[in-house]
Amino acid sequence: MRRVLLLVAVVALTTGAALLPRPAAPQEPDFDGGALIDDLAGAEGSVWYCPWMNAGAARDSYLMLAAEPNVQVEVTLPSPIPNENADRASFTLTGPGADPLEVASIVRRGDAPGFVEFDDGPAAVSAVVTSDTALTGDRCSASVPKLWHLPGGTTRPDHTTILRLFNPFPEPAKVSVTGASEFGEVGLIGLTSIDVGGRSWVDINLNEIVPLLEDLSLTVSSEEGLVIPAIVVATARDEATWPGVGLSTTWEFPVVRQTGLVPTLAISNPGDVAADVEIDVYTGDGAVPAARVVTIPAGRPMRIPIDDLADRFFAVRVRSSAPVAAVVIAEDEAPALAEEATDEQASDVATARIAGTVGAAEPALRWLLPGPGGVRTATSTVWVLNTQSEAVTVSVQPLGAEPPAADKIVVEPGTVRRVVLSQESGVAGYLLSAGTPISAAWSVESGDGVAFVAGVSIDD
């Protein structure tokens, strides 16, 4: 079992080393009006923040890097030891290309959140963590707003939910965390005006503070400075992680189900009016508009079962009358919850696989997928969703060391297409281009573990 965490890893101020410049103060977005957190790869240089990584005796982590042009890359991993310099690596990534950088090649000390700087773009980063049983990861974050939403937590006995607050900047930050559950507003004692030192992080075990909640949605707001949050939901065997998001009236999820997993949608409505939500389903054969319709009360989250909406793999689009935050969570069905479960089946509850990911607020013409093929011992799958009314031809360009030539696939209108990747040597990412907007994501599966990873849209 993971140790129960409630700790602060303090500042690692790097004397004599180059520091990440603090970004210009972002404009205060009106999140009540549905502002988005724009994580996309633009044509200029960018910085990507990866809160959840670990390189130690039991785990390995990989920074999945991908870029279209040639780029200079600098990786910085702040130290948890006071007054100790951050660990760094600098190199060139030849574009278009992708590279899985093992965090242990820089430092091996356990928890290792960090950030990646590119001097040009489009370029993007995903983070993947592996162990003998677990496989987890999602895209990293490129934006730094003052308000984040993290739906999909749970503190029921067979799961542990950890909130990580990562401050990659030299200046200290002060943040507050609020929550809502199926019962309404949740009192999170001790989570007001939390100090997060510069170049440090804080881990908060929510099970200790608000146990026995089926559905827990969090909001992280910065009073001073800025932080990058991530949520981790773990069983005894596997874990899932995803970054904070903004609010939108639409969300597209190209990856929803992997073999043997039962998916649900976790949607949070932090507004002061109820949200009428329609869930459109897209299979390999066609679309089912408004396959499920629900109303989410103001100020509450809701977990919506969607496994029964299709027989095989499928994608979903969320359409809401009010701005909401949403994630997809898929996990092994817990046989112990059934009355007929045997003692042997009951023991499986604590060893379930779990995956989760954020969606895309809108489709785009081009997508960068850092990571597919980069976990050499696992099987990767690329998922392409076409919610448009016409078929689209998509160019699928593998990225990496001596990758194969680009291929073209046709995605019929109102369908999702999956591309199961052979483990070609050197492939560690993909660049997708289409004539009409699409959404894209990828998944990775290895025996006991599974992870869903959102794609990064490209802004030209």
Dihedral sign, Cα of residue 137, residue 139, residue 143, residue 145: negative
CATH architecture for residues 248-358: Sandwich (2.60)
Which are the contacts of 340, defined by CB distance < 8 A and separation ≥ 6?
A: none
Question: Where do the CATH 2.60.290.11 domains begin and end in the chain?
Answer: 6-13+29-243, 248-358, 365-459
Which of 396, 386, 385, 391 has the alpha carbon at shortest distance from 432?
396
CA–CA dist 14, 85 (Å, integer): 4
pTM reported for the whole predicted model: 0.89
User: Pairing between strand 87-93 and 114-118?
Assistant: unpaired
pLDDT in 10s for each residue of the chain, 460 residues: 333 333 333 333 233 333 333 333 333 333 333 467 878 898 899 999 999 999 988 889 999 999 999 999 999 999 998 778 999 999 999 999 999 999 999 999 999 999 999 999 999 999 999 998 889 999 999 999 999 999 999 999 989 999 999 999 999 999 999 999 999 999 899 999 999 999 999 999 999 999 999 999 999 999 999 999 999 999 988 999 999 999 999 999 999 998 889 999 999 999 999 999 999 999 999 999 999 999 999 999 999 999 999 988 999 999 999 999 999 999 997 644 444 445 544 444 445 899 999 999 999 999 999 999 999 888 999 999 999 999 999 999 999 988 888 899 999 999 999 998 876 678 999 999 999 999 999 999 987 899 999 999 998 7
pLDDT at res. 334: 61
CA–CA dist 395, 382 (Å, integer): 13
pLDDT at res. 8: 33
Query: Which tokens go with 342?
Result: 């045997």
Contact 229, 177 (CB under 8 A): no
Q: Could you tell me the CATH superfamily of domain 365-459?
A: TM1070-like (2.60.290.11)
Dihedral sign, Cα of residue 276, residue 281, residue 287, residue 291: negative
CA–CA dist 416, 419 (Å, integer): 10
- CA 289 vs CA 315, 413, 450: distances in Å: 12, 13, 28
CATH fit for domain 6-13+29-243, picks 2.60.40.420, 1.10.3470.10, 2.60.290.11, 3.30.390.50: 2.60.290.11
